[in-house]
């Protein structure tokens, strides 16, 4: 981010502004407002196409809520360590500041790691089941995932609709961006969020390394950290929305 | 202070071309914006002229159908994104810091970056004529833009250059929002801001909220084209209507982004040449704010014939009619301003008055197709280009031209030729009506827009010929304008600081303004402070901040920098690399460009605004 100061006679780190708010801080707020519309449009696209995919896999087939909950938790915790880093800086405790800063970056990277794992596991998703299991579920009126039902109809029944006993299904059922509307919208939305997190990690690490240089990041010159923190929290909040709308709503029946 | 590891000396007092390339002075950047945008305006005008020549008579064969498609698409995109928007940005740059009593914008280097990025996007779009430009219309409806329908590079150029232009516009808007909120002189409260600054402020807010929507739409289109995603692929369930929604959710606020700065200029010019304060200042500000909010609720009036259903059409009919109200309020305020004033008609005033008349006609035809039933008849006929040209040419361009004349003494330090100015006005006034009014007739007569030719005997021959002749009147007008500008800038009589007996702060300083604008930061005590000071109503206070009166030697100005240019260049290379992603090593050019951009950003953020060693004072 650009480091700019107004050019009045009384220049310095804490320049006089009309509102008393720092220029760069205000710039950051304006940027985040703009970024809200960016994610808003991506989420709107996702919602418009929700349930409109012409073929599987659907959210219910690929999502693994416990795994994503863990990565969500890690990202939320990174916000907390960001707060701790900033407060350590304001207390002038540089050692604690660096520790919290690097742990924030590590947690951010962990989240990205989870996302990479998730993307690759979705794209190589497999479906395997015993035909008899699904038949039993259907008999009892239990919910059968769309993907399972698809292959059950295709492979477990013969021409006359009779169940093939002892048959089992093992099919590739990967989700790629090209597969269907769900893949297209899901990878685009979460991918752009991931890009935001990645940029944030680069930013946090830059500050971390700069903090070893004397006088660059200090108790008095805490604005860079403040701005990075603002950005980081924003990215976190966006994830909460995505996790709720895409993941949690996605696994409800019927979606 | 830390410095960038690469030892590149900072430009210190560069001269000549380097002075312009490394400048971060808002006034110079404003002039760069203005000149570039005007060149783009001419290029868009040439495209329009070719179309009109082709349509002068039925069944002409001057340009082919394929070229014609490219012409109307490039004309629309050029005029909106490369001419009117950056002309607005030129005025933002030059005028706002002067009007609010500031020495520069909040982020001078970001400002330079905005300009160079805009230039990169503009060059990229225009160069796409080599090898075939985009041809899907300026709103690029899916599936005309799909890779199956449109495999050429034209669409790619269109997408990517719009993204680059978006970066430029967003950066500029962030800058101006912060500048206007945070860099006002003491006493310059929000409700004492000059109207042009107010309207620019609203424009910038609209822009930062609207542009991300088209950014997303363009990203989706890019992914469809490059990676076979399904956003607009009907075969896999995608909807082409989604594109229309996203485009117009951006597109309607965009028309206010185009017209609000124009309204701001007119609100400056009319009071000055009527010798009266603006009638109902608060109302005009409020009307602008209402437009900014309501501008988001009307986008589907572009889609009345899509089949969204009677409820949606009825709702959007009503909201569209409602949004005409605040605009109407402004028109009444302008009339109230000149009513009973001691009116002086000169070139800027004539253009401002012409704006009101022309914009009113465009507004009325706009309300006509706000009615969805009547729009069903007018959709995709020449009636729509007639409307849009009354709003954007008779509206935006008239007002921007008024602004060029009005502030010409300020930015050039010289007076323009009044006779030539008035000749320009009359040629433009007559020319545009001869060109665009007949489009109403042929439009209502059923002539579709965007056809490259038409059969004889449709009854459209006469009015098409008239419209084409009108273009040449416009060309004559602009030839005089260019002559006037070049001649006056070189050798016009020197302009005093306040040639118009102005009302706002920019007239309180010499023409052209010194690099530091204000020797002493003014203290503002009322609306139209400079006017009241001249009337003796305000006693000039001893300023609280600023130089000590030694001709500004003590004033620290941000120093020139290479890095905004380097960053913009990186973006430019990366953007070209996206279009030609299979050249040499796949995606290598993009990666190189991105790397250069990152080097630029890093060096920029580590470079102090003022090198302490370079300061002479303190
Ligand atoms: Cu509209």
Q: Answer whether residue B509 shows pLDDT above 70.
A: yes
State residue A66 phi and psi, 5-degree precision.
-55, -45
Q: Distance between CA B450 and CA A100 in Å, rounded?
A: 60
| Contact residues, B window 166-225, toward A, CB-based 8 Å cutoff | 170, 173-175, 177-178, 181-184, 188, 208-213, 215-217, 219-220, 223
Where a domain ends, among B505, B520, B545?
A: B545
Residues of B in contact with A184 (CB under 8 A): 223, 229-231, 238
**CA angle, B608 then B612 then B616, to 5°:** 135
Q: Do A18 and B184 touch (CB under 8 A)?
A: yes
Domain range for B165 is 25-545
What confidence score (pLDDT) does residue B613 get? 47
User: DSSP labels for B270-334?
Assistant: HHHHHTSPPTTHHHHHHHHHHHHHHTTS-GGGGGTTS---HHHHHHHHHHHHHHHHHHHHHHHHH
Question: Which of B182, B246, B607, B614 best probes binding to A when mutated, by most A CB atoms within 10 angstroms?
Answer: B182
Residues of B in contact with A28 (CB under 8 A): none
Identify whether B41 is part of a domain: yes
pLDDT per residue as tens digits for the range B551-599: 445 566 777 788 888 888 988 988 888 888 877 888 888 888 888 988 8
Distance from CA of B105 to the nearest CA of A (A): 8
Locate B388 and state its tokens: 């849009």
| Contact residues, B window 239-258, toward A, CB-based 8 Å cutoff | 239, 242, 246, 249
Are B495 and B584 members of one domain?
A: no
Of residues A166 and B247, the one with the higher pLDDT is B247
The answer to whether B546 and A8 are in contact (CB under 8 A) is: yes
The answer to whether B496 and B513 are in contact (CB under 8 A) is: no
Are B38 and B124 members of one domain?
A: yes
What confidence score (pLDDT) does residue A55 get? 84
Identify whether B481 is part of a domain: yes
Q: What is the CATH number of the domain that holds B334?
A: 1.20.210.10
Q: What is the CATH number of the domain that holds A209?
A: 1.20.120.80
Identify whether A183 is part of a domain: yes
What confidence score (pLDDT) does residue B611 get? 55
Which has the closest alpha carbon to B568: B543, B601, B612?
A: B601
Are B16 and B149 members of one domain?
A: no
What confidence score (pLDDT) does residue A15 get? 58
Residues of A in contact with B219 (CB under 8 A): 188, 192
Q: Using DSSP, state whether B150 is helix, strand or coil.
A: coil
What's the number of domains chain B is made of? 2
Residues of A in contact with B183 (CB under 8 A): 6, 17-18
- Give the lowest-confidence range in A6-15, A228-237, B153-162: A6-15
Are B106 and B203 members of one domain?
A: yes
Q: Answer whether residue B16 shows pLDDT above 80.
A: no
pLDDT per residue as tens digits for the range B380-401: 999 999 999 999 999 999 999 9
The residue behind tokens 């200042």 is B281
Q: Answer whether residue B539 shows pLDDT above 70.
A: no
Q: Distance between CA B537 and CA B212 in Å, rounded?
A: 46
Residues of B in contact with A37 (CB under 8 A): 208-210, 212-213
Identify whether A130 is part of a domain: no
Of residues B453 and A159, the one with the higher pLDDT is B453
- Determine the average pLDDT of the residues in B25-50: 94
Distance from CA of B324 to the nearest CA of A (A): 26
Average pLDDT across chain A, whole number:
86
Distance from CA of A198 to the nearest CA of B (A): 14
Identify whether B616 is part of a domain: yes
Of residues B341 and B618, the one with the higher pLDDT is B341
Q: Distance between CA B328 and CA B356 in Å, rounded?
A: 11
pLDDT per residue as tens digits for the range B421-452: 999 999 999 999 999 999 999 999 999 999 99
Residues of A in contact with B213 (CB under 8 A): 37, 41
Q: Distance between CA A97 and CA A210 in Å, rounded?
A: 12
Q: Report yes or no: B228 at the A interface, CB cutoff 8 Å.
A: yes
Q: Do A2 and B556 touch (CB under 8 A)?
A: no
The dihedral over CA atoms of A196, A198, A201, A203, expressed in degrees to the nearest 10, equals -60
Instruction: Identify the band that residue B9 occupies on the pLDDT scale cut at 50, 70 and 90.
Output: low
Are B13 and B36 members of one domain?
A: no
What confidence score (pLDDT) does residue B351 get? 96
Are B42 and B14 members of one domain?
A: no
d(CA B44, ligand 1 centre) in Å: 22
Spatial neighbors of A188 by CB under 8 A, at least 6 apart, are A42, A45, A177, B219, B220, B223, B229
- Determine the average pLDDT of the residues in B12-28: 79
User: For chain A, what percent of residues have pLDDT higher than 70?
Assistant: 93
Which has the closest alpha carbon to B359: B263, B217, B448, B474?
A: B263
Which has the closest alpha carbon to B20: B106, B119, B88, B98?
A: B119
Identify whether A145 is part of a domain: no
Identify whether A153 is part of a domain: no
User: DSSP labels for A61-80?
Assistant: HH--HHHHHHHHHHHHHHHH
Strands (E), B446-510: none
| Contact residues, B window 452-491, toward A, CB-based 8 Å cutoff | none
Are B64 and B151 members of one domain?
A: yes
- Determine the average pLDDT of the residues in B127-155: 90
Residues of A in contact with B209 (CB under 8 A): 33-34, 37
At how many degrees (to 10) do helices B347-368 and B240-274 cross?
A: 140
Q: Report yes or no: B108 at the A interface, CB cutoff 8 Å.
A: yes
Which helix (H) or strand (E) segment holds residue A168: the answer is strand A168-172
Q: Distance between CA B403 and CA B394 in Å, rounded?
A: 14
Q: What is the CATH number of the domain that holds B562?
A: 1.10.287
DSSP-derived letter for residue B184 is P
pLDDT per residue as tens digits for the range A89-98: 999 899 999 9
Are B437 and B509 members of one domain?
A: yes
Are B469 and B609 members of one domain?
A: no
Q: Do B558 and A23 touch (CB under 8 A)?
A: no
Residue-wise burial string across B10-27, b where 16 or more C-beta atoms lie within 10 A, e elsewhere: beeeeeeeeeeebbbbbb
Q: Which residue of A has its CA nearest to B247?
A: A41
Distance from CA of A123 to the nearest CA of B (A): 14
Please confirm whether the linkage preceding B512 is cis (ω < 30° from 0).
yes
Q: Do A27 and B605 touch (CB under 8 A)?
A: no
Question: Which of A5, A6, A203 best probes binding to B when mutated, by most B CB atoms within 10 angstroms?
Answer: A6
Report ipTM (2 d.p.).
0.91
d(CA B95, ligand 1 centre) in Å: 28
Identify whether B553 is part of a domain: no
Identify whether B550 is part of a domain: no
What's the number of domains chain A is made of? 1
Identify whether B489 is part of a domain: yes
What confidence score (pLDDT) does residue A217 get? 83
- Determine the average pLDDT of the residues in A71-93: 94
C-alpha dist (Å) from residue B586 to A40, A191, B164: 32, 21, 21
The residue behind tokens 């009825």 is B314
Of A19, A26, A34, the CB nearest to B208: A34
pLDDT per residue as tens digits for the range A122-160: 998 888 888 888 888 888 888 777 778 888 887 788 777
Average pLDDT across chain B, whole number:
89
Locate B41 and state its tokens: 């305006």
Locate A185 and state its tokens: 């919208």
Of A4, A37, A54, the CB nearest to B108: A4
For CA atoms B42, B47, B48, B53, the dihedral sign is positive
Q: Distance between CA B511 and CA B496 in Å, rounded?
A: 6
The answer to whether A13 and B615 are in contact (CB under 8 A) is: no
**CA angle, B260 then B179 then B85, to 5°:** 35
DSSP-derived letter for residue B495 is P
Domain range for A202 is 2-125+174-251
d(CA B299, ligand 1 centre) in Å: 5
Q: Do B223 and A184 touch (CB under 8 A)?
A: yes
Identify whether A150 is part of a domain: no
- Determine the average pLDDT of the residues in A22-33: 92
The answer to whether A242 and A43 are in contact (CB under 8 A) is: yes
Identify whether A217 is part of a domain: yes
Are B595 and B528 members of one domain?
A: no
What confidence score (pLDDT) does residue B548 get? 42
Are B453 and B572 members of one domain?
A: no
pLDDT per residue as tens digits for the range B318-332: 999 999 999 999 999
pLDDT per residue as tens digits for the range A189-243: 999 999 999 999 999 999 999 888 887 888 888 888 999 999 999 999 999 999 9
- Determine the average pLDDT of the residues in B537-543: 54
Of B182, B220, B557, the CB nearest to A18: B182
Question: Which of A1, A7, A11, A25 best probes binding to B when mutated, by most B CB atoms within 10 angstroms?
Answer: A7
Distance from CA of B410 to the nearest CA of A (A): 22
Of A2, A3, A33, the CB nearest to B208: A33
Locate B555 and state its tokens: 């004033």
Strands A126-130 and A168-172: antiparallel
Identify whether B285 is part of a domain: yes
d(CA B364, ligand 1 centre) in Å: 14
Spatial neighbors of B313 by CB under 8 A, at least 6 apart, are B300, B304, B372
Question: Which of B212, B516, B566 best probes binding to A when mutated, by most A CB atoms within 10 angstroms?
Answer: B212
Identify whether A144 is part of a domain: no
**Other beta carbons less than 10 A from residue A64's beta carbon:** 13
Residue B459 gets the label, from left (phi > 0), alpha (psi -120 to 50) or beta, of: left
Q: Do A181 and B230 touch (CB under 8 A)?
A: yes
Q: Report yes or no: B616 at the A interface, CB cutoff 8 Å.
A: no
What confidence score (pLDDT) does residue B551 get? 47
Number of CB pairs, chain A paired with chain B, less than 8 A apart:
157
- Determine the average pLDDT of the residues in A46-61: 88
Identify whether A108 is part of a domain: yes
Are B516 and B608 members of one domain?
A: no
Which has the closest alpha carbon to B555: B516, B613, B523?
A: B516
- Determine the average pLDDT of the residues in B26-55: 94
Locate A246 and state its tokens: 């895409």
What confidence score (pLDDT) does residue B94 get? 93
Q: Do A177 and B223 touch (CB under 8 A)?
A: yes
């Amino acid at each position: 981010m650009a480091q700019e100061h107004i050019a009045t006679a009384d220049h310095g780190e804490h320049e006089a502004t009309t509102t008393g708010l720092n220029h760069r801080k205000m710039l950051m707020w304006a940027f985040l407002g703009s970024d809200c519309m960016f994610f808003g449009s991506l989420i709107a696209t996702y919602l418009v196409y929700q349930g409109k995919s012409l073929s599987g896999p659907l959210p219910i087939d690929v999502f693994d809520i416990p795994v994503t909950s863990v990565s969500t938790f890690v990202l939320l915790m990174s916000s907390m360590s960001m707060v701790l880093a900033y407060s350590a800086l304001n207390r002038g405790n540089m050692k604690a500041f660096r520790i919290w800063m690097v742990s924030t970056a590590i947690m951010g990277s962990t989240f990205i790691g989870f996302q990479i794992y998730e993307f690759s596991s979705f794209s190589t998703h497999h479906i395997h089941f015993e035909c008899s299991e699904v038949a039993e579920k259907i008999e009892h009126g239990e919910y059968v995932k769309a993907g399972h039902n698809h292959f059950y109809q295709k492979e477990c029944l013969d021409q006359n609709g009779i169940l093939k006993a002892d048959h089992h299904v093992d099919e590739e059922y990967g989700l790629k961006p090209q597969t269907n509307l769900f893949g297209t919208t899901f990878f685009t939305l979460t991918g752009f969020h991931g890009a935001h997190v990645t940029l944030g990690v680069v930013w946090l690490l830059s500050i971390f390394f700069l903090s070893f240089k004397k006088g660059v990041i200090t108790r008095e010159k805490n604005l860079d950290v403040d701005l990075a923190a603002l950005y980081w929290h924003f990215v976190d909040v966006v994830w909460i929305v995505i996790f709720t709308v895409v993941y949690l709503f996605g696994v409800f029946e019927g979606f | 202070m830390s410095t960038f590891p690469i030892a590149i000396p900072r430009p210190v007092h560069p001269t000549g071309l380097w002075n312009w390339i490394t400048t971060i002075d808002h006034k110079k950047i404003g002039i760069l914006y203005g000149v570039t945008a005007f060149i783009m305006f001419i290029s868009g005008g040439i495209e329009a002229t070719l179309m009109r020549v082709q349509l002068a008579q039925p069944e002409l064969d001057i340009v082919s159908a394929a070229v014609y498609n490219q012409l109307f698409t490039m004309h629309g995109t050029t005029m909106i994104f490369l001419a009117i928007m950056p002309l607005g940005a030129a005025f933002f740059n030059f005028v706002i810091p002067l009007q609010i009593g500031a020495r520069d914008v909040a982020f001078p280097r970001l400002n330079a970056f905005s300009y160079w990025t805009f230039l990169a996007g503009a060059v990229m779009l225009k160069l796409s004529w080599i090898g075939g430009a985009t041809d899907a219309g300026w709103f690029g409806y899916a599936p005309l833009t799909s890779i199956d329908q449109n495999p050429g590079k034209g669409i790619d150029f269109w997408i990517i250059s719009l993204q680059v232009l978006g970066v430029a516009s967003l950066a500029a808007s962030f800058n101006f929002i912060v500048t206007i909120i945070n860099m006002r002189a003491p006493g310059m409260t929000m409700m004492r801001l000059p109207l042009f600054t107010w309207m620019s402020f609203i424009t910038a807010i609209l822009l930062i909220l609207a542009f991300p929507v088209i950014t997303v739409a363009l990203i989706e289109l890019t992914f469809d084209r490059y990676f076979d995603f399904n956003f607009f692929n009907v075969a896999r369930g995608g909807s082409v209507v989604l594109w229309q929604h996203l485009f117009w959710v951006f597109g309607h606020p965009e028309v206010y982004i185009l017209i609000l700065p124009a309204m701001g200029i007119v609100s400056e010019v009319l009071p000055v040449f009527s010798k009266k304060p603006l009638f109902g200042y608060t109302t005009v500000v409020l009307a602008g704010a209402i437009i900014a909010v309501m501008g988001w609720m009307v986008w589907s009036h572009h889609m009345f014939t899509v089949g969204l259903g009677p409820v949606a059409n009825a709702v959007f009919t009503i909201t569209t009619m409602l949004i005409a109200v605040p605009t109407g309020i402004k028109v009444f305020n302008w009339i109230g301003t000149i009513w009973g004033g001691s009116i002086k008609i000169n070139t800027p005033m004539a253009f401002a008055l012409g704006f009101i008349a022309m914009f009113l006609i465009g507004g009325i035809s706009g309300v006509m197709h706000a009615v969805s039933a009547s729009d069903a008849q007018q959709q995709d006929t020449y009636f729509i280009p007639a409307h849009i040209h009354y709003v954007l040419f008779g509206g935006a361009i008239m007002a921007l031209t008024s602004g060029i004349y009005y502030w010409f003494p300020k930015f050039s330090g010289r007076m323009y030729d009044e006779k030539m100015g008035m000749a320009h006005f009359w040629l433009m006034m007559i020319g545009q009506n001869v060109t665009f009014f007949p489009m109403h007739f042929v439009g209502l007569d059923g002539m579709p827009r965007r056809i490259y030719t038409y059969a004889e005997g449709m009854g459209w021959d006469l009015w098409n010929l008239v419209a084409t002749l009108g273009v040449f009147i416009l060309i004559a007008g602009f030839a005089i304008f260019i002559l006037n500008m070049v001649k006056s800038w070189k050798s016009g009589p020197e302009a005093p600081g306040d040639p118009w007996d102005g009302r706002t702060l920019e007239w309180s300083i010499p023409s052209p303004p010194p690099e530091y604008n204000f020797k002493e930061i003014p203290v503002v005590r009322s609306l139209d402070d400079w006017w009241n000071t001249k009337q003796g109503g305000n006693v000039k206070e001893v300023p609280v901040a600023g130089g000590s009166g030694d001709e500004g030697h003590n004033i620290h100005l941000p120093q020139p920098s290479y890095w905004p240019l380097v960053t913009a260049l990186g973006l430019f290379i990366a953007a070209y690399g996206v279009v030609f992603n299979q050249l040499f090593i796949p995606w290598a050019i993009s990666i190189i460009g991105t790397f250069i951009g990152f080097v630029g950003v890093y060096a920029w953020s580590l470079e102090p605004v003022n090198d302490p060693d370079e300061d002479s004072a303190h």
